Amino acid sequence: MTVALETRSGEAGHSGTDVRSDLHVHIEPRDRGGIAIELQSRVKPYYGDSIQRQAEEVLEALGVRHAQVQIHDEGALPFVIAARIEAAVKRAGRGQGTRVLPDKVSLPEASSRDRLRRSRLYVPGSEPKYFINAALHGPDAIILDLEDSVHPGEKDAARLLVRNALRAVDFLHCERMVRINQLPLGLEDLDEIVPESPNLILIPKVENPEQMLEAGARIADIKADYGITRPIWLMPILESALGIENALAIAQASENIVALTIGLEDYTSDLGVVKTPAGAESLYARQRVVNAAHAAGVQAIDSVCGDVGDMEGLRVWALNSRALGFDGMGCVHPVQIPVIHDAFAPTSLEIERACKIVAAYNDAHQKGLGVVSLGSKMIDPPVVQRALKLMARAQAMGLAKV
């Protein structure tokens, strides 16, 4: 049986002197002649055979038997090579409905609802060179981004790359997050991403609870299809005046929502104001997010500081963020991580005071006293609660003894 297929070529990925850890694949399906691979690679003396073999396997898996393939490799790792070849094949109109999955590192534990989320490092979903070492810098979470950092023409390829990264890259103790595209494009992202059990999915530009329900339903369907039972948490990003006004309803839309966050670039642009270092223009919106998050019993997470050179500005912003009631913020470069962790950590004075309050509380409790006092001051129950919370947080950050 012969099926006439239209012959169109496909290409994916990047090469060039400035490119590292990526590759460019050009594929031209043909009717006969088998697979002919032309390989150019700076690592050819070491991995030339391996690349050749992997390319043949991926093409085979995608049902491509006859094609001319040009690979210009810049030292890409195997999971990247697989994703780029798959993208090129699919752009050539072949291999639809088949996914070629790279070897899997062991799936890390599901994350707890209220784990530490001080810092989340954004990594552009189309830049594989940043994936492999991102976790070494110790952020609480890594966001593989499919949205704003990925060119509209690269969405399909980035999706495959991020999917493969979720399987093949060891993100150590970091929570594995993915920011999908705005719905409805984001639904296609979910189809590739959810089977790999990310810990959390960020949904951008949410303006009403229905959007959360729509994404949630799709995730539930895919999880059911793949037999995934562990939770995949959700974090809506509010980026418009309307989104902010609907903050509480959005935060309460699904029990899988664990945090509410805000995107300040889009929000300030929606308002037609300039985003300033002091952030007066977004104070209301940020307070609203904090308040709605607490009302809904979820974490409140702040936006990012885009100026990587301004460490002092970042420190001031982050301290202010914590003071407003946020639990963490985003980062766009690893150098921002320690600054953010420092800023969101309770100070030693705070810890010392909380310790005393808790000790006084325990003491009173043991003596069967209803009233807790520290020195001459009476301590109200909410103060004790706050001290207990702070101690728990300090312990989670490794700052206080259990």
Partner 1 sequence: MAILEKSELVANAAGRIVPEMVNGRPQVPFMGVGKYRPINGKATPAIRTSADFPTNGDKRVPDLESALRKCGLRSGSVISSHHHLRDGDRVALMALEAAGKIGVKDLTWFPSASFPSQKSAITLMESGVIDHIEGSMNGPLGDYCTQGKMRGMGVLRSHGGRWQAIQDGEVHIDIAVIAAPTADPFGNCDGSHGKSACGSLGFALADSIYADHVIVVTDNLVPFPCVPWQIQGNNVDYVVEVDSIGDPAKIVSGTTQITRSPDRLRIAELVAQFLRDAGIMRNGFSFQAGAGSIALAFVSYLKQMMKQSGVKARFVRGGSTKYLVELLEEGLTDYILDGQTFDLDGIRSMANNPRHVATSPFTSYNYHGKGNFASMVDAVVLGATEVDANFNANVVTHSDGRLLHGIGGWQNCLASRCTILAVPSFRDRIPVIVDEVTTLCGPGELVDVVATERGIAINPRRQDLLDAVKGSKLPIRPLREIKEEVERICGGKPQRPVHRDRPVAIVKWVDGTVLDTVWQIP
- Kindly state the smallest distance separating residue 28's Cβ from partner 1, in Å: 26
- Kindly state the smallest distance separating residue 136's Cβ from partner 1, in Å: 6
Dump strand ranges (E) for 259-365: 259-262, 299-301, 329-331
Place of tokens 């001459």: 376
Place of tokens 């995949």: 232
Reduced to 3 DSSP states, what percent helix, strand and coil does the chain have, rounded to the nearest 5? 45, 15, 40
Nearer to partner 1, 46 or 226 (CB): 46
Three-state DSSP state, 283: helix
Nearer to partner 1, 78 or 325 (CB): 78
- Kindly state the smallest distance separating residue 141's Cβ from partner 1, in Å: 16
Tokens of residue 127, six digits: 């830049």
Tokens of residue 146, six digits: 């499919």
- Kindly state the smallest distance separating residue 119's Cβ from partner 1, in Å: 14
- Kindly state the smallest distance separating residue 72's Cβ from partner 1, in Å: 13
- Kindly state the smallest distance separating residue 262's Cβ from partner 1, in Å: 26
Burial 10-36 (b: 16+ CB within 10 A, else e): bbbbbbeeebebbbbbbbbbbeeeebe
Give bridge partners of residue 71 from the DSSP assignment.
Answer: 25, 39
Nearer to partner 1, 155 or 176 (CB): 176
- Kindly state the smallest distance separating residue 216's Cβ from partner 1, in Å: 35
Which amino acid type is present at position 359?
A: A
Nearer to partner 1, 123 or 258 (CB): 123
List of residues contacting partner 1 (CB under 8 A)? 20-21, 42-43, 45-50, 54, 74-78, 132-133, 136-137, 333-335
Nearer to partner 1, 43 or 273 (CB): 43
Assess contact for 179 and 259: CB atoms under 8 A: no
What is the distance between the alpha carbons of residues 149 and 167, in angstroms, rounded to a whole number? 21
Assess contact for 30 and 68: CB atoms under 8 A: yes
